[in-house]
Structure 1
Amino acid sequence: MDTPTLYAHWRDVPAGAWRWPHFSPAEIACRGTGELLVHPQALDALEALREALGHAPLILTSAYRSETHNRRVGGARRSKHREGTAFDIATGNHHPTVLRDAALGVGFQAAAWYPKQTFVHIDLGPPRTWGAPFPPRPVVHAEDATRFPPEATRPAPARVTTAVGGGATAVATGAGAVLETFDGDAARVAVVALILLVAAGVAAAWRLGWLTERAR
């Protein structure tokens, strides 16, 4: 097993010594000082996690922390971030439960929820967990996304907008023609009738579009 190596700054890491292609030394380094502790076992597990999640990017909000920075952000005195074996991963592009289960499956032993801060903490152990779970969130499986893409299940506002816009144009054009043809009360009655007719047509078009979307 490789021995952890401490660098005064992430820029000091020799290019040939970095073997984790999906992460850079800057991502793993301390956010406050640039200091970096390279823990090969933890980084190997991080790469394995990315692969387990279908190679989807992992957004790290915190990795290694220097003693100074850990104290500044209120981290625990014996935080695993200080050992370079802990990572906080944003959940914007990952389901929290899927992320946690995948992490435990590739060698991480501890996982914690931070729903307000929208990240999941993982580290190499010892086994433990803490924090309130995230609010329920549906899990979208890859095969479902392929069969029912989000675009196919959303309303089609463009159709409604087009129908309404077309109706408005028809009303304006028709009203002008009626006023040119008739005078007085007869013209007003004819315009009102035209407006009601076009409104009924727009409503029918919208209803048809809604039913079409529901049938998908």
Structure 2
Amino acid sequence: MKKTMLSKTMMGRTAVKVLLATTLLAGVIAGQVGPASATAAKPTAAPIMRDNLSKYGLVKDVELPVTVEAGGLSYTLEKIMIYDAKSKDAQALIKKYGYNVERKYFIWTKITITNNSKTVVQFSSKDLSEKWRLYFGKDALTVMPQSSANKLNSKDALWVWKLEPGKKLSTYQAFSYDENFKTFVIWVDNKGQFTEKYIVKRAVE
């Protein structure tokens, strides 16, 4: 009888130990899952490639985007990519928008322009003066997209544009260039006011 009672007691204790072990194990697992899921590293977004200037010996003194303002017109260069005009990337854009490029380099820019003045600012038949220029040692020339040459404020390939006071436009614009890259300056000229901003003061020799 005593042996039987002892066996039952031992069996009871063993069952309790197993139950406690199972409970503790479940708690450990839950503890591991909780904090791990809460502190799991979020995927890091890939950095935006805003330029390839270094490919041409142009090391930036300031990082893009860069904003230059004159006479109430704000010009922000968001992105600039320089291509050999015969390259695959350049030819894809040239054919898509109908550019006629006879110079060595095709330059593709993403920009935002904002009219902070109290009067209309435009590049059209009513005002043919260019409001900004890109200078690399010589002026880069703007290139007209045949596909949107008559489209006002194109958001895909800019040519003619008009901004009422307080309005802005984000778009793309193409240039061509045929000289060595010695520097990089943005010039904005509007309503008799002129501002320049050096992106690259001097190219790496």
TM-score w.r.t. length of structure 2:
0.19
Ranked by relative contact order (alpha carbons within 8 Å, sequence separation 6 or more), the top structure is 2
Answer with 1 or 2: which has the greater Rg: 2
Indicate the structure with greater helix content.
1
TM-score w.r.t. length of structure 1:
0.19
Indicate the structure with greater strand content.
2
